[in-house]
Amino acid sequence: MRIPIRYKIVVPFVVLLVFVGVIGTGVATARLTNAAVSEFDSGLYRTGLLENDHLAILEADRLAELRAATDTLGVSTALAARDRAALTTLLVPLVANAEPTQLLIRVLDKSGQVLLAIDGRSTGPVVVPPTSSRFDGPAVQDAIAGRSDARGDRYVFVAVEGSRPVIFWAGPVRGDDQRSVGGVLVGEPIAEVAAGIPNAVFYDRAGAALAASSVAVPSLPASLRASVSSDHPVRVEEPLAGHAYGELFSDWTMRGQQLGYVAVVLNADQLEVAVGQVRLLLVIVFVAAALMTLLVGGGLAAHITRPLEDLVRSMRIVSAGKLGHRAPVAGRDEIGYLATTFNEMTASLEDKTKTLQDTYFASMEALARAIDARDPSTFGHSSRVAAISLEIADRMGLGANEREALRRGALLHDIGKIGVEDRVLRKPGPLNEQEAGEMREHPMIGYEMLRDLHFLEPSLPGIRHHHERWDGSGYPDALAASAIPLSVRILSVADTFDALTSDRPYRSGLSLEEAVGTIVDQKGKQFDPAVVDAFVSRADAIARMLRAMGRWLPAHPGGIGRYLEAS
């Protein structure tokens, strides 16, 4: 079974399209997914920072209230006398004026026994029977004894009163002789602390959840606790109750002491939906592009190859001796008829191939013009460079084929700027080192874009090498002297001249004479001396041509020659 020529042309492109589409869709999906995940993670870390800030403010407020309770005049005397009524009179106003409303105060004697318990409530502070008759533990003992460490004589710990976990700050009450006569605890239920922090979960040091403002409460196993440290929060993603959640676990440390762990838990359902939508959209775009390419490519291939298929079919008939008794055409025999048919089909195929090439080049040229238009200061640059290049080529006697290759190379020489970001192309000032490095990539980007188009092969050197220098200090290949093709040396002068005479956001364009003088100064350094001589001899004609194209360049009254002699 013979495969038609059109399929032999189309099938490799289909395979390439599928390969590039699958890879491109995968890469694009990965990048967009990473961007969405990064944005989600940024929100998670921002919430974690807000959580830390809230806890720091909380500790500062509680320490201020503890200081007010221990230092209130008369508290030490009442505590030493175990006078509950006096303590109540002195401390109830402190609770009444505090925020939050659930502030707790516990007054302890020197043995840790609770003398007075005051709970703040929405209806006002209330003296309550203490749930715990005695507080013990290193933090309480150090506070009651009046001991100090590097952070002072205030301590923090977590205790469970009844069924509710509470965070307490402890401090000593000192008499007139500065000896401790007991202590005061100022506390707040951890549930209320959690309520002030969105999407937070508090755990004790064993990983048991103490309180949460998050709808979902993830578990905190020993393996995960072992990975969390003061400078290393742990990011986890897991499903909970049929929803996706992102979690950030960090240690819960106050006054240099680890009290437990705290987590920020954010719902990630929208993230997964967004990622799924991105993937679906990219697949739809790829499938639509693939179908359009197949339809257009198949139709174009059929149109182009039909004469060739007719020719092949006729040759097979001749080879098989199946030509039969066909009447001569205009007195010619059958072999002459086939020869004429062959010539006609070949000419038709060449015409259609030429038309296809011209159409493709026109598309590339339109793209290059669009790239010039990204920056108003370079609008029309490629067209002017092509026109200037042809003026110099005329002076140097280039042939028709060389002139056409030069023209196409000039029109497409900056097409690689499609890969340079707008922030670099449109920067209203000189580029920094990193931005200049990005800009220097454009010759190779353009070359790689067009290298597989065989009909543009004679023009590729101008696209790749138009920033090479005569002295070898250019890029990307550091070619020097005659190693740079002549057409490229011409293009380089034309490109520089148009750039010098163009306005930029950070400078005005040079006059004709100043630009010519600058190029002459670079003779034998940046530019081929012979090309510079040819350019100078045509400079006045170039100026007239550019004026006709809409670029105004004032000329020296005596012409370029007189100007150069005077300078």
Where in the chain are all domains bearing CATH 3.30.450.20?
45-270
Structure tokens given for 385 = 């460079």
Interatomic CA distance for residues 554 and 25, integer angstroms? 53
Q: What percent of the chain has pLDDT over 90?
A: 42
pLDDT at position 366: 62
* Listed residue (262, 293, 310) closest to 48, CA to CA: 262
What DSSP string runs through 459-475? GHHHHHHTT--TTS--S
Structure tokens given for 305 = 């190859």
Each residue of 524-535: pLDDT tens digit? 999 999 999 999
In this prediction, residues 39-61 reach a mean pLDDT of: 87
* Listed residue (361, 365, 366, 409) closest to 388, CA to CA: 409
| Residue that is written with structure tokens 């599928």 in the block | 18
Name which residue leads in pLDDT, 238 or 520. Answer: 520
In this prediction, residues 547-564 reach a mean pLDDT of: 62
Interatomic CA distance for residues 175 and 497, integer angstroms? 90
pTM for this structure?
A: 0.48
Name which residue leads in pLDDT, 9 or 280. Answer: 280
pLDDT at position 328: 46
Structure tokens given for 318 = 């001749």
Please name the helix (run of DSSP H) or strand (run of DSSP E) that holds residue 53, with its range, or none.
helix 5-71
The full 3-state SS of 167-185, as one line of letters, equals: EEEEEEEECCCCCEEEEEE
Query: What dihedral angle (degrees, nearest 10) is formed by the CA atoms of 374, 375, 381, 382?
Result: -30
pLDDT at 93 over 50: yes
Where in the chain are all domains bearing CATH 1.10.3210.10?
351-566
Each residue of 360-415: pLDDT tens digit? 556 556 665 666 666 565 678 888 999 999 999 999 999 999 999 998 899 888 88
**Confidence band, pLDDT 50/70/90 cuts, at residue 555:** low
User: How is domain 45-270 classified at the CATH fold level?
Assistant: Beta-Lactamase (3.30.450)
Rounded to the nearest 10 degrees, what angle do helices 512-521 and 539-548 cross at?
140
Q: What residue ranges in 70-119 does DSSP mark as E strands?
A: 104-108, 114-119
Each residue of 97-147: pLDDT tens digit? 877 668 999 999 999 999 999 998 878 889 998 877 889 889 999 999 999
* Burial class of residue 169, CB neighbours in 10 A (0-12, 13-18, 19+): buried
pLDDT at position 534: 95
Interatomic CA distance for residues 457 and 447, integer angstroms? 10
pLDDT at position 3: 61
pLDDT at 344 over 60: no
CATH homologous superfamily for 351-566?
Answer: Hypothetical protein af1432 (1.10.3210.10)
pLDDT at 325 over 50: no
Each residue of 173-208: pLDDT tens digit? 999 899 999 999 999 999 999 998 889 999 999 999
What DSSP string runs through 226-292? TT-BTTB-EEEEEEETTEEEEEEEEEEEETTEEEEEEEEEEE-HHHHHHHHHHHHHHHHHHHHHHHH
Contact 157, 132 (CB under 8 A): no
Interatomic CA distance for residues 240 and 218, integer angstroms? 7
Alpha-carbon torsion (413, 416, 421, 422), positive or negative = positive
Helical H segments across 320-399, by residue range:
334-373, 381-396
Contact 137, 185 (CB under 8 A): no
Give Cα separations from 61 to 120, 143, 201, 538 (angstroms). Answer: 15, 18, 21, 83
pLDDT at 464 over 80: yes
